[in-house]
Amino acid sequence: MPAANGGRDLGAADYLERVYAGVLGKLIGVYMGRPVENWTYQRIMRELGPIEYYVHDRLHVPLVVTDDDIAGTFTFIRALEDHGARPDLSAEEIGRTWLNYIVERRAILWWGGNGNSTEHTAWLNLRKGIPAPLSGAAETNGTTVAEQIGAQIFIDGWAMVAPGRPALAAQLAEQAARVSHDGAAVDAAKLWAAMEAEAFVATDIDHLLDVGLMQIPRDGIMARLIADVRHWRLQFPDWHDTRQRIEETYGYDKYPGNCHVVPNHALMIMAILYAPDDFQRAQMIVNTAGWDTDCNAGNVGCLLGIMQGLDGIDAGADLRGPLADRMLISSADGGYAINDAVRVAYRLAALGQQLRGAEAIAAPKGGAQFHFSLPGATQGFIAESGPGRAATLLENQPLGDTRTLAIRYRGLGMGQVAAALTPTFTPLDVVDMRTYELMATPLLYPGQVVTARLIADRGNRGAVTAAIRLRVYGANDALSDTDGPATAIAPGESVDLRWVIPDLDGQPIQQAGVVLAAAGSRADGIVRIDHLRWDGVPHLHLRRPAAPGDFWRQAWVNAVSVFSRNFRPSFRISQDRGEGMIIHGTRQWTDYRVRADLTLHLARCGGIGIRVQGLRRYYACMLTRDGRLQLVKVRDDTRIVLAEAAFPWRLESPYEVTLDAIGRRLRCHVGDVALQAEDAENGWLAEGGLALIVDEGALSVNDVHVGRVPEG
């Protein structure tokens, strides 16, 4: 890709690394700004002073939390996966993506009320059948609601799939923005997306602003605002003076609503003009300036991350270490929730390559979930500390033509371990996360095969033993360790660990990683994780665990009116209106069988789903109120009966339901009735988890079994 404005050429490797830096910049900005979201500049200066680093610990809140800026940004971009990576992706298609992934009052959005929250209002319109872009139009919702900040905060993904193509980024961002917004909010989204796309190939902030301005009306409020902030930047050497002018001219008192785009966009422009070459200073300015700090800092961080790359992020204090690449993406696809910046960057870069017709970027190390292939990446791995733990440091290091995660341990003696683990499910501190609920399912399960390749440095002192370690929820939601077989590793050796995860009494796996112990009296050195992965069909028995607790229930995406704790069956769900479901599993599941003992207590229909990809993309075996057994396919707004037969079932009677998915073929069996069908459409669903589904009523299940489909 040719350079622009004295900028850089962009090859595939540079593109991928800049996407990674953009994702990291977004995360750093959101997590720096989130604790002081909606604070005024005056309150920030009075209570905290300049925000020069993360302040979560000073305010006693977690660092990595659920947040709409992150969840919306990295969920809505999946419209390109579900509807095709095409430049002409429409607002209507992105609106369908909203309906598939957003769990009402639980995921992604600020559920502040109809007419209060712009996104909540637009979602209600979509649910009523008002398609995008009417769902977000000013003529539908009024100008004030339509011009809040949400359109802008979700656009980073659209820019990162259009490197060096600002017009395309603006076009995609506009379609996405019009699902929920209109007017100045859409202009802000288009402008910032174009700037981020151009930041892949250009290095001058004024040039980026000029490119962005080409995408919006010259006589609109956004163009006037930018002209004013540029003028004030030349007039005032101190950014505090420009901030005061912004408050006086474009403040919240002049732009109504909960969080209007105009005042906040002005602060973003100010930050990049006063710190065009300094990532950390720009973060300090935009966060100290107040108002919607997480949104503003997230957009600024993504832009400067793309432009300056990893070197720019790493130039100041260590902003990456505490973050450790971690991110949470709450949606109806629970297997996408516990995520990291590396996996998301590869996913975005793959879409970008498709859009520009370029060669695909190969998945590193055979598609391993954790491969550490980008500079500095730790993919959520954190060294354990505390009693019985040796002094341990983690560092991403090159090794030959690849990269590894080095576990550096010192003074590892008898009775001690050195362990490095990464999240694979909801953390304990989820109870301390305010505003946004986390919908998540575990990433790995009993019956799957976990493997890891470890390499011991030649200069190590003493041999160690190594094992795969899982941290699993148990009684009273306490976490306990379950280790696989231990293998000795001498200095200079490499080993491949392999472990089939055993049954865990229905409890979810919260972390996975590697644990080291000294094989003799003492060990010092480095053991590198080349990769860690898991594969295969789960062999899974889901039920109420013998030990009391609640995280086993939180391991299901809850998209029903009531997911009860008060009935004898393990799973009792109730839906007040329309269809509801609880979902378990990940997109890694492809060909498998699900079996459940199902009782309908009251329902228009109910059953079990397979290859579930959200609320509106799945196959299911359903019992209908008019006495039918059906194999159905649901894909966005289309529901197709693939096969059906008479089945005079009764309320309050248990039925064992079995549903298989093998390639395009589906089979279900209830009592003496069996159905089978083949989905011949191009849009067949190849992967996804399971669901328990009920339409206006209640359903209960005591045991759910997942496993391989028997041959024959």
Q: What are 615-668's pLDDT values in tens digits?
A: 999 999 999 999 999 999 999 999 999 999 999 999 999 999 999 999 999 999
CB hemisphere CA count around 530 (13 angstroms): 20
Cα 629 to Cα 626: distance, rounded to the nearest angstrom: 9
Read off the pLDDT of residues 489-544 as tens digits, 9 standing for 90 and up.
999 999 999 999 999 999 999 999 999 999 988 999 999 999 999 999 999 999 99
Kindly indicate the confidence band of residue 7, based on its pLDDT and cuts at 50, 70 and 90: low
Q: How far is CA 222 from its chain centroid?
A: 30
In angstroms, the Cα distances linking 298 to 15, 34, 204, 345 are 20, 10, 20, 16
Of the candidates 495, 510, 107, the one whose C-alpha atom is nearest the C-alpha of residue 329 is: 107
Instruction: Report the pLDDT value the prediction gives residue 462, as an integer from 0 to 100.
Output: 94
Place of tokens 């930041």: 199
Q: State both tokens at 124.
A: 């209600």
- pLDDT in the model for residue 186: 98
Cα gap 180→127, rounded to integer Å: 13
pLDDT higher at 9 or 115: 115
- Whether the CB-CB separation of 614 and 337 falls below 8 Å is answered with no
d(CA 284, CA 602): 56
Q: Which residue has the higher pLDDT, 278 or 711?
A: 278
Report the top-level CATH class of 12-335.
Answer: mainly alpha
Q: What are the phi and psi torsion angles at 433 (to 5°)? A: -90, 120
Count Cβ atoms below 10 Å from residue 318 Cβ, excluding itself: 10
CA-to-CA distance for 685 and 662, rounded, in angstroms? 11
* CA proximity to 581, closest of 470, 469, 670, 694: 694
CA–CA separation, 12 vs 18, rounded Å?
10
| Cβ neighbour number for residue 206 with a 10 Å cutoff | 12
Q: Is-same-fold flag (12-335; 382-535)?
A: no
Q: Which two tokens stand for residue 96?
A: 């369908």
Beta bridge partners of 619: 610, 633
**Side-chain half-sphere of 632: how many Cα atoms within 13 Å?**
24
Cα gap 430→436, rounded to integer Å: 10
- Residue 78, both tokens: 């999946």
Residue 210's identity, in one-letter code, is D
Q: What dihedral angle (degrees, nearest 10) is formed by the CA atoms of 550, 552, 555, 560?
A: -60
Q: How far apart are CA 297 and CA 27, in angstroms?
A: 9
What the block records as the tokens of 657 is 């339901």
- Report the distance separating Cα 19 and Cα 505, nearest Å: 40
pLDDT in tens, 314-327: 999 999 999 999 99
133 preceded by a cis bond (ω within 30 of 0): yes
Nearest to 56 by CA among 428, 420, 429, 414: 429
Instruction: Name which of 160, 172, 229, 222 is nearest 197 in CA terms.
Output: 160
Q: What is the mean pLDDT of the chain?
A: 96
pLDDT value, residue 8: 72
Express each pLDDT in 241-280 by its tens digit: 999 999 999 999 999 999 999 999 999 999 999 999 999 9
Mind listing the pLDDT tens digit for each residue in 124-163? Answer: 999 999 999 999 999 999 999 999 999 999 999 999 999 9
Q: What confidence tens digit (pLDDT) does each residue in 557-610 have?
A: 999 999 999 899 999 999 999 999 999 999 999 999 999 999 999 999 999 999
- At residue 391, φ and ψ (nearest 5 deg) are -60, 120
What is the total residue count of the chain?
712
Q: Report the C-alpha dihedral over residues 34, 36, 41, 44, rounded to 10 degrees.
A: -140
CA–CA distance, 600 with 593 (Å, rounded to integer): 21
Count of CB atoms within 10 A of residue 645's CB?
12
- Eight-state DSSP code of residue 586: -
In single-letter form, the type of residue at position 120 comes to: H
Domain range list for the chain: 12-335, 382-535, 556-707
For the domain made up of 382-535, the CATH class stated in words is mainly beta
**Which residue(s) pair with 542 in the sheet?**
704
Based on the number of CB atoms within 10 Å of its own CB, is 519 exposed (0-12), middle (13-18) or buried (19 or more)? Answer: middle
Kindly tell me if the per-residue pLDDT of 712 is higher than 80. Answer: no
Element (H, E) at 156: helix 156-160
Q: What is the rounded CA–CA span in Å between residue 261 and residue 475?
A: 47
Is the CB of residue 154 less than 8 Å from the CB of residue 91?
no
Phi, psi of 75 (to 5 degrees): -100, -50
pTM for the predicted model, two decimal places: 0.97
Burial state string for 440-464 with b = 16 or more CB within 10 A and e = fewer than 16: bbbbbbbbbebebbbbbeeebebbb
Q: What is the pLDDT of residue 431?
A: 78
Residue 2: band (very low, low, confident or very high) from pLDDT cuts 50, 70, 90:
very low
DSSP-assigned letter for residue 359: P
Q: How far apart are CA 516 and CA 541, in angstroms?
A: 30
pLDDT in tens, 666-689: 999 999 999 999 999 888 999 999
Give the torsion sign (CA, 76, 79, 85, 87). negative
Please, are residues 574 and 698 in contact by the beta-carbon 8 Å criterion?
Answer: yes
CB 542 within 8 Å of CB 706: yes
| CATH no. for 556-707 | 2.60.120.560
Count CA within 13 A, CB hemisphere, residue 666.
Answer: 27
Calculate mean pLDDT across residues 202-231.
97
d(CA 704, CA 640): 25
Spatial contact of 605 and 647, defined as CB atoms under 8 Å apart:
no
431 vs 449, more confident: 449
Beta-bridge partner residues of 690: 584
CA torsion sign, 78 to 79 to 80 to 83? positive
Structure tokens at 43: 């309150």
Mean pLDDT (whole number) for 175-202: 98
Structure tokens at 378: 């730790």
- How many other CB atoms are there within 10 angstroms of residue 573's CB atom? 27
Output the CA torsion 293→294→299→301 (10° steps): 100
Q: What dihedral angle (degrees, nearest 10) is formed by the CA atoms of 400, 406, 409, 410? A: 50
Please tell me the predicted confidence (pLDDT) of residue 1. 53
Rounded Cα distance, 634 and 616, in Å: 6
Helix axes 184-199 and 205-213, enclosed angle (nearest 10): 140
